[in-house]
Amino acid sequence: MNKAELVQCVAHDAGLSTKEAQNVVDAFTDAIKAALGKKDRVSLVGFGTWEVRKRAARGGVNPKTGAKLQIPEHNVPRFTPGKELKEVCD
């Protein structure tokens, strides 16, 4: 499912117009991005949790040249699925 299909599904299930559903989906994703930008944790019980984790520095290799390089530590978003979401996938 891509974003357009998600918008259509939300519009149908919530009885909204496509434009209203687009605004809802955009507001939802913007809220998660804003929280992660502030290093906050977003938790939806049963669905999952988004959080920012620090990825340690590590060595790497440029696949084109074979040259070794150092990849610096940086922050990455991480999603951990909740129990109910895991059960749906089984």
pLDDT digits (tens, 9 = 90+) for 8-59: 999 999 999 999 999 999 999 999 999 999 999 999 999 999 999 999 999 9
Looking at residue 61, its pLDDT comes to: 97
Q: Kindly state which CATH superfamily the domain 3-89 is placed in.
A: IHF-like DNA-binding proteins (4.10.520.10)
Looking at residue 9, its pLDDT comes to: 97
90 pLDDT tier (thresholds 50, 70, 90): confident
Packing angle between helix 3-14 and helix 18-37, nearest 10 degrees?
A: 120
Looking at residue 57, its pLDDT comes to: 97
Please list the alpha-helical segments (H only) found in the chain: 3-14, 18-37, 83-89
* Tokens linked to 52: 């920012």
Region for 46 from its dihedrals, namely left if φ exceeds 0, alpha if ψ lies in -120 to 50, beta otherwise: left
Q: How far apart are the first and last CA of the chain?
A: 18
Looking at residue 60, its pLDDT comes to: 96
pTM: 0.81
DSSP state of 67: -
Contact status, residue 79 vs residue 48, Cβ threshold 8 Å = yes
